[in-house]
Structure 1
């Protein structure tokens, strides 16, 4: 089976000193209060050679060329003995994983864009903590990521990356291994989101996901339109009914022996969203290939969890459909019979994501999960409320919400906890069905969550609305590119680690 995505993480190596073949060394410039900035990680040979050639030490040279400790500020120094030093601001010297990830990503993005690479790139920040080593490795790979285009010119290869540290422990080596697996999952999710919708559609997405998971101990089930109809998945079938490309429900399960916790993940997989009969304006439709970012996140997450060997049972659902207008399309005011028995009065065909998610959530409640988490590019209202960089989090209870927030903090992905007020839920009443798919425009993100909660059957559950951060616009920042971002993958993996026994 051919693969649509070609992303593979580069070789990540933990070293005590940059190898002789290394052509670029990235060092950090940090500050502590009002003290003079400190350069971290400069190789001894370079520190000795610079004064002889330039009549100033490395710090003076860097500052003369504009280097500062401002987080992510990159300054490229002249080559010294065939090695180019890249100085990046780290902010405060007592660095956090977020600072390290940001700095490494910005440096590698600059290097990928401007430097001719002929050998490994070394990240030399004087890091010892495994968590910081992992953050540096993640940032370097994700910052170097480039979109695979359909042009004749091949995607620029990622450089081999060396992480310079005196820490030789098993924990440090494990941090590098985790970073390799995690960045490959994020990079693959980005690739899938960036694929054009004539190539990634429900059936091909299911095939792609199956191929990506083939070397893992994961069982896979794919329901086609006939199986969906037989089982009563009225939401997925309605949304996908207007397209010639029929819908799918993708289910993957990882069940290691001895696991005592179960995590169910549900992702929205609308491979293209025209809005259906409530069609979007042209300007709002162009980027709608990204509407499957939630499904990309949960499928790559379960693959990463299996490859990391985490001892937690995980089930991932991708609700895959293409929302198109045609004679077979569903309509506003249709009543849909959902999986599990509830009926829904459809309010708007451009609020399709919650319908496919509702079917998948209802199915996930049968897995006896300790926690169900869904992730979706669900509402423009969430973008209005929180902007493009922050995801909205809504949950059945504070304990579930806190578990997600803690995982997001570890991963470095910003979430904001929003409520599901009773009065919002009341706005979903229907006179002809169990529930209406949406209410008025006010509190739209909250109403969508309230609708989804109806299908969780009282389970511990959390909903992550990634309509903003799933798709990067304008310019890259930190480890986040323009286009598909892979948002949510790192958070979900971090959550699974907390549930692993």
Structure 2
């Protein structure tokens, strides 16, 4: 658990029958042969309900507005059934892991809403026995139950404290798969805690310390933190410039997980701007309010690395989190400044509100010494990507299609959405500078693509590399949906873990 949140995850258990102590039972509604059917009702309860109901249970669900439509959820009358029941739509009866992940998230949140003065215990019964489906149920429950407890002197609100996943499945493999999902969900929720933390409580020094604390006691992991003085001395010009306007200096966190016998090396780089005012090119007030989330990339790579190490995946992972606070002051960097980045490349700064690519460039340049098989960077980098893809889909730009396909395959396993975008040669040419090796930006149109072209200049030639622009899905200003919370979402954590799992060997 992060020291910056009082969020406590429910205790999750796998059981063969509904515990007598549960407050809310979750069952499913699936479509089969163009008809809706209720699934997951335990046999003993089904017999008792049949005696109480005047008609069919499916008809009751329909009368209340429920259906098999994905994520439809209705509460069945407690007075009629003798207990609180949530019926949630899961789509076709040949259900997918992502459909279950989202449906269970909705249902658990619905169950939490039934709480009045006491915490809630929930059982989820959906007739699932396949380990992959049970893992998705666990993830949906634990991520759907997430709430960031506000900073307050008042008592914490009621919450879901226990989740029992009801299944006839047994065996070591099933238990291990579910336990892996518990660890993965804890990592997603850790990233959410960091992202949701107020910027006056989570600034570079604190974030770096938090990261160091999270890896204490984990086998085969070493953590290095470079402070502002070290960064300046060793030539990290992007981090030094962006963080120079704040009294809270920048940090670069390097985490290395090196299990014995690993044959593949994955380097991860995350943008960690703990607050982005825009610097001297200051943002309008409405664009600044949510900028505590501009460190979502760093949160994702650090949280993913933690769970990769906890699971003992046999892949060498080297992670960089580039942390800075971008503020205007008499020591802030300026448009037209020329910065000397790590490794010696000089950059003519175009706009101080394009700061993320500068700190990322330093960290990407550092990966050249790691001999990685794959480098992946993750950043809330451009508003242009949100304009192109909306709030739920992240942009993916890569060195080649084979690398892009590896990310897309991992994202499919994780249930996260990415869309591949190009890096056109004509946009690369717009980065030419008359006073430095290159400029930090180009024309307004295609801004997400130009930003990727800039970042690639700091990756080793011939390096397999992917850039994930998560500016849209990293933060959810709307209502919670599926297993996705409001505020920080922890997006990309699951994809990175799936990617690492695919590189084991």
Detail structure 1 runs of 4+ shifted over 6 Å in the superposition.
none
1:187 is matched with which residue?
189
Which structure 2 residues correspond to residues 89-488 of structure 1 after superposition, within 5 A? 89-116=89-116, 120-152=121-153, 153-154=155-156, 156-217=158-219, 218-458=221-461, 459-488=463-492
Which structure 2 residues correspond to residues 14-163 of structure 1 after superposition, within 5 A? 14-34=14-34, 36-79=35-78, 82-116=82-116, 120-152=121-153, 153-154=155-156, 156-163=158-165
Counterpart-to-counterpart distance in 2, 1:374 and 1:5: 26
Contact 2:223 2:253 in 1 (8 A): yes
Q: Report the Cα offset of residue 14 of structure 1.
A: 1.2
Going from structure 1 to structure 2, the CA distance change for 1:2 and 1:469 (only over 3 Å counts) comes to closer
Q: Which moved more, 1:235-244 or 1:45-54?
A: 45-54
Q: Which moved more, 1:36-45 or 1:291-300?
A: 36-45
Going from structure 1 to structure 2, the CA distance change for 1:182 and 1:7 (only over 3 Å counts) comes to farther
Counterpart-to-counterpart distance in 1, 2:85 and 2:479: 25
Q: Report the Cα offset of residue 119 of structure 1.
A: 5.7
SS at match of 1:120: strand
- Residues 153-183 of structure 1, C-alpha deviations (whole Å, 9 max, x = no match): 3254432111111110222112211111011
Q: Report the Cα offset of residue 215 of structure 1.
A: 2.6
Calculate the TM-score normalised by the size of structure 2: 0.96
Contact 2:9 2:146 in 1 (8 A): no
Match of 1:494 among 474, 494, 498: 498
Counterpart-to-counterpart distance in 2, 1:145 and 1:235: 35
Contact 1:23 1:118 in 2 (8 A): no
Q: Report the Cα offset of residue 482 of structure 1.
A: 1.4
Counterpart-to-counterpart distance in 1, 2:291 and 2:113: 27
- Residues 425-465 of structure 1, C-alpha deviations (whole Å, 9 max, x = no match): 00100011111000010100000000000000121110000
Q: Report the Cα offset of residue 81 of structure 1.
A: 6.6
Q: Report the Cα offset of residue 141 of structure 1.
A: 1.1
Contact 2:269 2:319 in 1 (8 A): yes
Contact 2:120 2:158 in 1 (8 A): no
SS at match of 2:94: coil
Calculate the TM-score normalised by the size of structure 1: 0.97
Q: Report the Cα offset of residue 6 of structure 1.
A: 3.9
- Residues 216-262 of structure 1, C-alpha deviations (whole Å, 9 max, x = no match): 12210000011101110000000000000000001111101111111
Q: Which moved more, 1:59-68 or 1:125-134?
A: 59-68
- Residues 346-368 of structure 1, C-alpha deviations (whole Å, 9 max, x = no match): 00000000000000000112111
SS at match of 1:160: strand
Going from structure 1 to structure 2, the CA distance change for 1:113 and 1:426 (only over 3 Å counts) comes to same
- Residues 37-75 of structure 1, C-alpha deviations (whole Å, 9 max, x = no match): 111110222211223223223223222222211111111
Contact 1:9 1:180 in 2 (8 A): no
Which stretches in structure 1 are left out of the alignment for 5+ residues? none
Contact 1:47 1:58 in 2 (8 A): no
Q: Report the Cα offset of residue 118 of structure 1.
A: 5.5
Contact 1:194 1:483 in 2 (8 A): yes
Counterpart-to-counterpart distance in 1, 2:25 and 2:401: 45
- Residues 279-333 of structure 1, C-alpha deviations (whole Å, 9 max, x = no match): 0001100000000000000111111111111111111111000000001000000
Contact 1:9 1:183 in 2 (8 A): no
SS at match of 1:221: strand
Going from structure 1 to structure 2, the CA distance change for 1:382 and 1:250 (only over 3 Å counts) comes to same
**What RMSD in Å do the two structures reach over aligned CA positions?**
1.5
